[in-house]
Structure formats: structure tokens, C-alpha cells
């Protein structure tokens, strides 16, 4: 379809050239027929290049659409922001439990609207061992749902047990409106 538009554009420019030559004709003394034909040929080449660029843009747009679709497969699938927040909480609770961390609190943060998309952030507080925290962050990175961490604060809960940490982490999920 896009290639046909380019061909139609070139064909229309060619028809316009022939019509111009038939109507205007070589009646002018200042411009020779060769000069006029060369000028029209340059114009035709310009339109052909524009048609080729249009086709290239169409192909690039198709590739970008495919890439965007692959990203959108990783978005939260809930029907609304409140359900997306609950979905994100469930995902992170499962990841934390798998890493051996104990959930302390969950706090929803303000939604961030970005065009057709909404970022759903949650602030989690966990307690656990250093290895569990490392495992939890790795699980977030590998999650099938596209999540990203915007804030991470780690502190020692008890000086006598420096291996047990308190973790505050803000995690964002994305959903399409």
C-alpha cells in the first residue's frame, strides 16, 4: 500500500510533466526544450526521492510498532489504576516471599500519568538478610512484568545482627490507559 502511494506520486508527476509540455509547449525563446525537460526531470527525481523516503518512514514506523508491542506485553494487565496497584502489590509480595523477606508495610504513591500510560508506584518496607535483599532485587529485574526501582534505602535493623536489614523500596509498574 505504501509503495503504491509512492508509485502514484511519481506517475502523477510524470503526467503533470507531459501535460505541461503539451499546454505550454516550447513557445518561449528564453528556455530551450532541453532546459525545460531537464528542469522537469529534476523535479520528477525530487518527487521520487520523497516517495522513497515515505516508504522508508513507513517501514521504520512498523518496526517501532513491533518494538512498542513487545514492551507493552510486560505492562500491568489490570483494568484500572487501583487494580494495577493491587496487582503490583501481589507481584512484589510473591517476589519478596520467594527471596525470604518479611513484608512490613505497603504504601501506594501518587500515580504518574505519561500520555497514554500510567506509572503505578508502591513503597514497600521489608526485613530480611543481605542475601535475600540481593535475591529480591534480582527477581525484580527478571520479572516478566516490566518493573523498575526508583528508590532503594537499606539500613541495619539491629546492631547486634548486622546481617538483618530493613529495606524501603519504591517500585513502579506501567499500565496502558
**Final residue before a domain boundary, out of 26, 49, 72:** 72
**Final residue before a domain boundary, out of 72, 90, 115:** 72
Based on the fold, state whether residues 7 and 25 are members of the same structural domain: yes
**Final residue before a domain boundary, out of 27, 49, 72:** 72
Based on the fold, state whether residues 38 and 86 are members of the same structural domain: no
Residue 165 has pLDDT above 60, yes or no: yes
Based on the fold, state whether residues 37 and 98 are members of the same structural domain: no
- 78 vs 112 pLDDT, higher one: 112
Q: How many domains does the chain have?
A: 2
Range of the domain at 24: 2-72
Long-range contacts of residues 107-114, Cβ cutoff 8 Å, at least 24 apart = 109/170, 111/81, 112/172
Based on the fold, state whether residues 53 and 87 are members of the same structural domain: no
- Mean pLDDT along residues 10-21: 74
Which CATH number does the domain housing residue 121 bear?
A: 3.30.70.60
pLDDT tens, 112-141?
Answer: 898 888 999 999 999 999 899 889 888 888
pLDDT tens, 27-48?
Answer: 555 567 888 888 888 888 888 8
Based on the fold, state whether residues 157 and 138 are members of the same structural domain: yes
Based on the fold, state whether residues 64 and 129 are members of the same structural domain: no
Sequence-distant (6+) residues with CB within 8 A of 133 are 99, 101, 126, 154, 165, 167
Write out the three cell numbers for 152: 532503594
Amino acid at each position: 500500500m505504501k509503495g503504491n502511494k509512492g508509485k502514484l506520486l511519481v506517475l502523477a508527476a510524470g503526467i503533470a510533466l507531459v501535460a505541461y509540455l503539451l499546454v505550454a509547449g516550447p513557445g518561449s525563446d528564453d528556455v530551450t526544450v532541453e532546459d525545460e525537460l531537464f528542469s522537469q526531470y529534476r523535479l520528477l527525481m525530487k518527487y521520487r526521492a520523497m516517495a522513497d523516503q515515505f516508504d522508508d518512514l513507513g517501514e521504520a514506523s512498523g518496526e517501532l510498532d513491533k518494538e512498542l508491542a513487545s514492551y507493552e506485553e510486560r505492562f500491568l494487565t489490570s483494568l484500572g489504576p487501583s487494580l494495577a496497584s493491587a496487582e503490583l502489590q501481589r507481584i512484589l509480595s510473591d517476589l519478596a516471599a520467594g527471596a525470604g523477606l518479611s513484608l512490613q508495610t505497603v504504601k501506594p504513591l501518587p500515580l504518574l500519568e505519561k500520555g497514554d500510560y500510567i506509572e503505578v508506584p508502591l513503597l514497600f518496607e521489608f526485613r530480611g538478610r543481605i542475601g535475600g535483599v540481593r535475591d529480591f532485587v534480582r527477581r525484580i529485574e527478571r520479572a516478566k512484568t516490566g518493573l523498575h526501582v526508583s528508590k532503594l534505602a537499606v539500613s541495619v535493623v539491629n546492631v547486634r545482627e548486622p546481617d538483618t536489614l530493613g529495606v524501603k523500596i519504591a517500585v513502579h509498574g506501567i499500565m496502558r490507559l
